[in-house]
Amino acid sequence: MKPFEVIFDLDLLQSELDELVQQSEKDNFWSDKKSAQLTLKDISRISKKIDLYKSLCTDLTELNEISELYKNEEIDADTYKEIEDSTDSLKKAIEGFEIKVMLSGKDDNKNAILSINSGAGGTEAQDWASMLSRMYFRYSEINNFKAEFLDFLDGEEAGIKNCSILIEGDFAYGFMKNEVGVHRLVRISPFDSNKRRHTSFASVSVLPEVEVNIDIEINEKDLKIDTFRASGAGGQHVNKTDSAIRITHIPSGIVVSCQNQSSQHQNKAAAMKILSSKLYDSEMEKIKSKEEALNSDKKDISWGNQIRSYVLHPYRMIKDHRTGTEIGDVDSFLDGNLQELVEALLSAKTS
């Protein structure tokens, strides 16, 4: 059997793991709970990868030794079948490991949020969007992922206008990220009484699941706090004391102020609430920009922009236009058996 075909630097990964473990053993490790949890997740992920690599290496060594042992001897059919089955099983396990090594992007190990929008084609396109959603639910089931709708808008007559699906599991985003684009369907319309052929479109976007419950932590050292005398309406008290507060958040440059409360303490508390809100909005904008960048190659949901065509008439064939791969078993693919193409796309991206 061939050795591993991907570059896997065990020493580098072990060094990364050792560094993370050292961090987890520090006395102040849990002072930042969110950071600590992320570190523990990284430790678990890297440990599993190292353990799997070592296990596969051991299995490969043992299988090569057995093959060498029987190399010049006649063996019975049962023994031969056992070795053959072990070889096939190990080959699949190594191929699966190699795919996961390819998934080394920053977000590849995260859950995926997959959105489907019907495009040109009216009811036909809405039915097609529904078919795609079923395909991805079946894909998730087959590959031991958990899938659930986050939102769902029914079509006017059939199908769906759009939906968002959360797919949870190891490397869900890494496996699904190449589904981004326009998907085209050609078939005899079940909604056309004249049984004419129709072409429908739906777009798919895929994002890594990100933490939206952002805890805004403001370090006092990052603040410049100025007091000044309030002006305008408010009565004699606010006009005669330096109770108004202006806060500058130095890292972001955000400036907020409050002067309508009767005391400096109250004005500061109100200003801090405003600052927290502005910082939260800023973080959400960063997430939005990241999402837009991840889907920057998304195009119009129409003819000529498709990444994949699903033809059910006049012949039956699925063609991925990026790899040129053609698949004849349309029913199986639409029933969620697309992992072979998913892996081919990953290999193409990294070659």
Section 309-324 average pLDDT:
94
**Same domain, residue pair 130 and 186:** yes
Instruction: Evaluate if residue 240 carries a pLDDT over 70.
Output: no
Instruction: Evaluate if residue 129 carries a pLDDT over 90.
Output: yes
Section 303-332 average pLDDT:
91
Task: Give residue 233's pLDDT.
Answer: 45
Section 311-315 average pLDDT:
93
**Same domain, residue pair 338 and 190:** yes
**Same domain, residue pair 183 and 303:** yes
Instruction: Evaluate if residue 5 carries a pLDDT over 60.
Output: no
Domain endpoint, select from 74, 102, 130:
102
**156 against 305, higher pLDDT:** 156
Task: Give residue 101's pLDDT.
Answer: 78
**Same domain, residue pair 21 and 90:** yes
Contacts of 230 (CB under 8 A, 6+ apart): 238, 239, 241, 243, 244, 259, 260
- The total of structural domains in the chain comes to 3
How does pLDDT run across 191-213, given as a tens digit for each residue? Answer: 887 888 889 999 999 988 866 54
Does a structural domain hold residue 152?
Answer: yes
Does a structural domain hold residue 5?
Answer: no
Binned at pLDDT 50, 70 and 90, residue 303 comes out as low
| Lowest mean pLDDT across 229-233, 235-239, 245-249, 295-299 | 235-239
Top mean-pLDDT range of 34-43, 85-94, 176-185: 176-185
For 10, 288, 350, the CA distances from 291, given in Å and listed in that order, are: 32, 5, 22
Does a structural domain hold residue 241?
Answer: yes
Q: What percent of the chain has pLDDT over 70?
A: 86
Task: Give residue 236's pLDDT.
Answer: 43
Does a structural domain hold residue 1?
Answer: no
The CATH number of residue 137's host domain is: 3.30.70.1660
Section 128-151 average pLDDT:
94
**95 against 15, higher pLDDT:** 15
For residue 126, count other CB atoms closer than 10 A to its CB: 26
**Same domain, residue pair 44 and 72:** yes
Confidence (pTM): 0.65
**Same domain, residue pair 313 and 202:** yes
Does a structural domain hold residue 2?
Answer: no
Taking CB atoms within 8 Å and a gap of at least 24, the contacts of 132-135 are 132/183, 132/202, 132/204, 133/160, 133/163, 133/165, 134/334, 135/333, 135/334, 135/335, 135/336, 135/338
Supply the range of the domain harboring residue 14. Answer: 10-102
**Same domain, residue pair 93 and 15:** yes
Does a structural domain hold residue 107?
Answer: no
Instruction: Evaluate if residue 150 carries a pLDDT over 70.
Output: yes
**Same domain, residue pair 19 and 119:** no
The CATH number of residue 285's host domain is: 3.30.160.20
Task: Give residue 239's pLDDT.
Answer: 44
Q: What percent of the chain has pLDDT over 90?
A: 33
